Structure 1
Amino acid sequence: MDKDGVFRVATWNIHKGVRGMGPTRRLEIHDIGHGVEQLDADVVCLQEVRKVHRREQSHFARWPAMPQAEYLAPEGYEAVYRTNAVTRHGEHGNALLTRWPVVNHQHEDMSDHRFEQRGLLHVEIRVADRPVHVIVVHLGLIPGSRVRQVDQLRRFIAREVRVSEPLIVAGDFNEFGGSLSRTLRHDGLIEFEATRHPTFPSRLPLAQLDHIYARGLAPIRAEVPHGRAWARMSDHLPLITDFRF
């Protein structure tokens, strides 16, 4: 948060730090680390983050020795990671990087069927002596699954977050329309909507799959960084939103 009381939040699906397929795939996690630093956000919400992957570790000579969430955390930030999916060679999930102290965190499984393992990460941080709740989500590919997952998200918020405390919900919603946004607005969750901010696909962004919603904080501007370097790192571009704290 800067001297004017602006609180910056970013969300980014990092595609597990690797682009491409097969033997020609390339490791992008090092450049993603530089990208996270350039975002200069108080909180960075990440999806598709590897904790470990034995096949990729053996394939890439420069695969980081530590889990990706810890590797990507800039100096002075704390990293929180929780697994969504366990696969044959490793596991991946959501992560949160924060320059403010972490009070506590928890995870809830949001898997709607056995072919997609999904979850939410809830982190409570302390910002200038105030509690702020951040929920990182990565919703499913099937429309019906997303509807049920948003209903589960709303129940989780009602159960775990006091109405009087600021809340941010950010991540990859995998939705090309606006129905989920309208649903969340019923619970007071809003986003900066002055202009559209397409984030996918990164090389020619046409759809905004990534969103940052808030309750108890006023969004004042939003942006998506563009350029060849950003487009190379992941199939999604990051989304940044500044809030008046």
Structure 2
Amino acid sequence: MNATANTFRVATYNIHKGVQGIGPARRLEIHNLGHAIEGLDADIVCLQEVRKMNRQGALRFARWPDMPQADFLAPEGYTAVYETNAITRHGEHGNALLTRWPVVRTSHRDISDHRFEQRGLLHVQIDVDGRRVHAIVLHLGLIKGSRVRQIAQLRDFIDREIPPEDALIVAGDFNDWGARMRYAMNAMGLRDSSDLRGPPTLTYPSRLPVTQLDFIYARRFAPAACSVPRGPIWARMSDHLPLLTDFVLPHS
């Protein structure tokens, strides 16, 4: 467990399918991302735009991993959970969760709002020192109306699948310029961990971040600190920066 015995760390990161650049300048960043994710030392890592397989990438890059990206990125001792959101011409990609704690069960829900954007919700129940903790990883749509309807689907899923007394984390790329979804999330009893007094937690675009698109919400956990790693190394690996939050574990 990270930091002190009564705290743990959650990270969310859109890894842009492990590849950066356009056209002939495209470069493979998945190996650098592996080292970076290990260095975050997070107990739960929520990932978006993770490739299970991609035939085009495997042909283009000699060092393309011979395993799904979620398994490749999982540090030693972590469990990787992956679910496909989108099936494309050359492969498939989706959300993933990496954790150093035992995974109890997993589920997935398609929350696509229209046929041009395939989106999903990954739910993982984790055993944290005997405590039942739920984590949901999602990647919301680019259109505001889609995001509103997808948050409504999220609320329906939580109401049906997660007991109200259980601890819950919801993290991912919300595509939420101006944190407009914060009010709907608060109405579910979920609080934005980056809504703390301190420097802004801007995550996009990574080279010169001007807004926050990535969020970590929680209920029954108190956030202790929130941060965003920055610098040239982080700027080259993805178009997003990771968001980190340290939470205080409630007494059992």
**Aligned-partner SS, 2:169:** strand
Q: Paired residue for 2:137?
A: 136
Distance in 2, Cα, partners of 1:153 & 1:76: 30
**Aligned-partner SS, 1:37:** helix
Identical columns (%): 64
Post-superposition offset of 1:24: 1.5
Q: Paired residue for 1:239?
A: 243
For residues 159-204 of structure 1, give each alpha carbon's deviation from its aligned partner in whole angstroms, at most 9, with x where no partner exists: 1111111000000000112220111101110023124200000000
Q: Paired residue for 2:226?
A: 222
Amino acid of the residue matched to residue 144 of structure 2?
A: P
Distance in 2, Cα, partners of 1:203 & 1:178: 21
| Comparing 88-97 and 191-200, the one that deviates more | 191-200
For residues 59-100 of structure 1, give each alpha carbon's deviation from its aligned partner in whole angstroms, at most 9, with x where no partner exists: 000000000000000000000000000000000000000000
Distance in 1, Cα, partners of 2:239 & 2:172: 14
| Comparing 192-201 and 181-190, the one that deviates more | 192-201
Give the count of matched residue pairs: 245
**Aligned-partner SS, 1:179:** coil
Unaligned runs of 5+ in 1: none
Distance in 1, Cα, partners of 2:234 & 2:202: 13
**Aligned-partner SS, 2:31:** helix
Distance in 1, Cα, partners of 2:149 & 2:187: 16
Distance in 2, Cα, partners of 1:41 & 1:99: 9
Post-superposition offset of 1:23: 1.8
Is 1:103 the counterpart of 2:107? The answer is no
Unaligned runs of 5+ in 2: none
For residues 123-171 of structure 1, give each alpha carbon's deviation from its aligned partner in whole angstroms, at most 9, with x where no partner exists: 0000000110000000000000000000000110011111111000000
Post-superposition offset of 1:44: 0.1
Post-superposition offset of 1:7: 1.1
Q: Paired residue for 1:57?
A: 58
Q: Paired residue for 1:151?
A: 152
Task: Name the TM-score, length of structure 1 as normaliser.
Answer: 0.99
Q: Paired residue for 2:21?
A: 20
Distance in 1, Cα, partners of 2:49 & 2:36: 16
Post-superposition offset of 1:4: 3.0
Q: Paired residue for 1:5?
A: 6
**Aligned-partner SS, 1:95:** strand
**Aligned-partner SS, 1:212:** strand
Is 1:201 the counterpart of 2:214? The answer is no
For residues 9-65 of structure 1, give each alpha carbon's deviation from its aligned partner in whole angstroms, at most 9, with x where no partner exists: 000000000001112100000000000001100000000000000001000000000
Distance in 2, Cα, partners of 1:4 & 1:240: 18
Task: Name the TM-score, length of structure 2 as normaliser.
Answer: 0.96
Distance in 1, Cα, partners of 2:178 & 2:202: 12
Please list every run of at least 4 consecutive aligned residues from structure 1 whose deviation after the TM superposition is greater than 4 angstroms. Answer: none
Q: Paired residue for 2:177?
A: 176
Taking only aligned residues, the RMSD between alpha carbons, in angstroms, comes to: 0.7
> 5 Å matches for 1:76-87?
76-87=77-88
